[in-house]
Amino acid sequence: MDGGTDSKSLKHFIAGQWVDAAAGAMFEVFNPLDDSHYAFAAKGTTEDIFNAVAAAKAAFTSYKETTPTERERWLLRVAEIMEARQKDLVNCLIDEIGSPVQKAMFEFTKGLTMIRAAAGLCRNVRGETIPSDRPGTFSMSIREPLGVVAVITPFNVPLIKTTRLVANALAVGNTVVHLPSEMAPHLSLIFAEIVEEAGIPDGVYNVVTGMGAEIGDDLTGHKDIDFLTFTGSTLVGQHINEICAKNKTPNTLELGGKSPTIILADADLDNVMLLAARSVFMFAGQACIASSRFYVERPLYDEFVKRFSMIIRKLGMGDLRDPNTVIAPIISPRQRERIKSHIDDARAKGANVIGGEWEGNRCQPTLLTEVSEDMTVCQTETFGPVTAIYPIENYEEGLEKANDTEYGLSSAIFTKDIDKAFHFVRNSKAGMCHINGPTIHDEAHVPFGGNGESGVGREGTDADMEAMTELKWVTVQL
Ligand code: NAD
C-alpha cells in the first residue's frame, strides 16, 4: 500500500496506483468548522477521468469472471479492515466535513452494514426459468454485470454513499470509477486504501478527485460508462439526466428533498418530539431526508411548537468530538449564504423565526412558524438546520400540503389511526413513507429513493442488483 492519503496531499487512485493529477494541479480542502486547511487533493482533468475509465474497462474483462465466493471474501475483508481503521474514518468524517462524532459513528456503523449486505448480494445475482411455448425448449434469464459504473457522491454522507454504491456495484461484478465530492475527497481515498489492502484487483475501483462542475461531464458523457449512479442536488442531477438520456446511459439519481411529517391530534407527543428533532437536526439538517416541513393538527399545534422550541435549545453545539454535540458546521460559504438567505427571506415576509442565529460556521437550530407560500423556504430545499411548522385542520389538509411539492423523497405520519396511516402510505407522493417514525431512516437492503425532483430509481442491495445488471434471455433446444 502506497498510502496515497498519508501526507494529506491526496492523490487519485487509478489502476491500483496512487497518482498525481495528469496536469499536476491540486485544490485545497477546508475544515468547515473554521475554514482551516484540511488537505490538498489532486485536481483531476479530462485525462484523469479517461485514464480511470480505461482502467475500469480493462479490469472488467477479468473481474466479471470472478466467483461469488471471491467477491464475497473481498468485501468481507473490506469490512474487517474498515473496522480496524474506524479511527481514521471517523476522524476524517469529523475534520473533513464537520460531522459531530455521533453522526460520524452512525455513518461508520451504517457503512459497515452496507459492505456486509453487499457481500451477501454476491450470491444473489439470479435470473429465473421461464416457461416456453416452443416444445422441447428450456428457457431462462440470466443476469450479467453491465461493465463500468460511474459513482458520483455528495459531501454529506460520503461513507454511507461510497460503501453502499461501490460495494453493490462490485458485488454484482461491475468495476467502478468514483468521483467523490470535492468537499469530501479524503474519505473516499481512505476507502480506496482499504479496497487496495483487501486485495481487490487493480482497476476494479478507481477514484478521481476534482471539481465536479469541471470534470463531471467527462465522466457522465464517457462512451465507456455503462451505468451511472449520482447522489447530489436536483440541479446537477437534471443536468446529468440530460446527458445520460442523450447517450442512453442507464442511471439512478438520488436528489434533494423537502420531506414532510404530519402529526395528527391523536399522536403521543412524548414519543414524537425527540424523533422530530432527530429528523431535522442530525448533521444540522444536511441530510436529503431531513424533515423540513411539519404539519401539526390544530389541537396539538401550540404544544408542539412550545416543546420543539425547548428541545432545540438543548441540542449540543460544542466540540465535534463530544458525543452530546448534534449541531454541525455548515459545509461551505455558498451553503451558509443559502441558509441565511432562506431565513432572512422568511423573516422579511412575516415568518416567526425561533433560533436562526449563527455561532461561527454553525447555524442554531431554527424553527419557522407563520410560513406562507411566497417564502423560498416553503418550496425549496434549504439543506440546513431549518424547518417550518404549519397548523392543519385535519388529516386531509395535511396530505394535500405534504404532496404540494415538486420533491418526493421521504415522508412520515404520526397517528394511532391505522386507516389514516395507510391512506397516507397509499397517497403520499414520496418514495419512502414512515408511520410513527422519522423521515430519516435508511437500511442497506431497502428500496431507498424518491420521485419527481427527488430522483429516479432506487438504491439498496436488491434495487442496485437489478439496476446494475442486465437480464439476458437464454434458450436451449433439447
Ligand atoms: P452537489 O450536487 O453540489 O454535488 C454532488 C456531486 O456532484 C459532487 O461529487 C460534485 O462534485 C458532483 N458534480 C457537480 N457538478 C457536476 C457535474 N456537472 N457533473 C457531474 N458531477 C457533478 O451536491 P452536494 O452539495 O454535494 O450534496 C447535497 C445535495 O445532495 C442535497 O441536495 C441533498 O438533498 C442531496 N442528497 C441526496 C441524497 C439522496 O439519497 N436522495 C443523499 C444525500 C444528499
CATH of the domain at 464: 3.40.605.10
Q: What is the best residue among 110, 244, 288 to mutate for testing ligand 1's pocket, by most ligand atoms within 8 Å of CB?
A: 288
Residue 322 has pLDDT above 50, yes or no: yes
Nearest CA to ligand 1 atom 30: 232
Instruction: Note whether residue 385 is domain-resident.
Output: yes
Quickly state the pLDDT bin for 318 (edges 50, 70, 90): very high
Segment 58-117, tens digit of pLDDT: 999 999 999 999 999 999 999 999 999 999 999 999 999 999 999 999 999 999 999 999
Q: Is 445 in the pocket of ligand 1 (CB under 6 A)?
A: no
d(C-alpha 375, C-alpha 342), whole Å: 8
Phi, psi for 296 (deg, rounded to 5): -115, 125
451 lines ligand 1 (CB under 6 A): no
Q: Are residues 276 and 235 in the same domain?
A: no
Averaged over 284-291, what is the pLDDT?
A: 97
Domain assignment present for residue 426? The answer is: yes
Q: Which residues contact 248 (CB under 8 A, 6 or more apart)?
A: none
- In contact, 471 and 178? CB cutoff 8 Å: no
Q: Do 266 and 414 sit in the same domain of this protein?
A: yes
| Residue that the C-alpha cell 475544515 belongs to | 31
Tell me, yes or no, whether 277 lies in a domain: yes
Q: Amino acid identity of 254?
A: E
Instruction: Tell me the C-alpha distance between 395 and 330, whole Å.
Output: 34
pLDDT in tens, 399-419: 999 999 999 999 999 999 999
pLDDT in tens, 117-164: 999 999 999 999 999 999 999 999 999 999 999 999 999 999 999 999
What pLDDT shows up at residue 3? 47
Domain assignment present for residue 2? The answer is no
Beta strands in 209-306 (DSSP E): 227-231, 251-254, 259-263, 291-297
228 and 354: one domain? no
Q: Cell 432506487 sits at which residue?
A: 458
How far does the centroid of ligand 1 lie from the alpha carbon of residue 476, in Å? 46
Both 266 and 220 in one domain: the answer is no
What is the per-residue pLDDT for 8? Answer: 76
Query: Domain total for the chain?
Result: 2
Output the average pLDDT for the chain. 97
Cβ–ligand 1 contact at 432 (below 6 Å): no
Looking at residue 6, its pLDDT comes to 57
- Band (pLDDT 50/70/90 cuts) for residue 2 is very low
Shared-domain flag, residues 263 and 251: no
325 and 467 both lie in a single domain = no
Asked if residue 422 has pLDDT above 70, the reply is: yes
DSSP state of 325: B
Cβ atoms of residues 262 and 420 within 8 Å: no
Q: What is the CATH number of the domain that holds 289?
A: 3.40.309.10
Confidence of residue 27 (pLDDT cuts 50, 70, 90): very high
Is 1 inside a domain boundary?
no
User: Are 436 and 324 in a shared domain?
Assistant: yes
DSSP 46: H
The x, y and z cell numbers of residue 383, run together, are: 439543506
Nearest CA to ligand 1 atom 40: 254
Helices H / strands E in the chain, number of each: 15, 25
Q: Ligand 1 in contact with 283 (CB < 6 A)?
A: no
Catalytic residue list contains 254: yes
Q: What is the pLDDT of residue 326?
A: 95
Same domain assignment for residues 169 and 282: no
Residues 57 and 157 in one domain: yes
**Selected catalytic residue, list 72, 254, 297, 381:** 254
Ligand 1 contacts CB of residue 236 (under 6 A): yes
Statement to judge: residues 200 and 290 lie in one domain: no
Same domain, 288 and 227: no
Q: Is 292 in the pocket of ligand 1 (CB under 6 A)?
A: no
User: 241 and 278: one domain?
Assistant: no
Q: Which residue has 397517497 as its cell numbers? A: 427
Atom of ligand 1 minimally distant from the CA of 181 = 9
CA 140 to ligand 1 centroid distance, Å? 39
pLDDT for residue 166:
98
Write down the pTM of the prediction.
0.97
H helix intervals, 126-268? 158-171, 185-197, 212-220, 234-247
Residue of 49, 99, 181, 282 best suited for mutating to test ligand 1, as the one with most atoms within 8 Å of CB: 181
- Structural domain including 122 reads 9-255+454-477
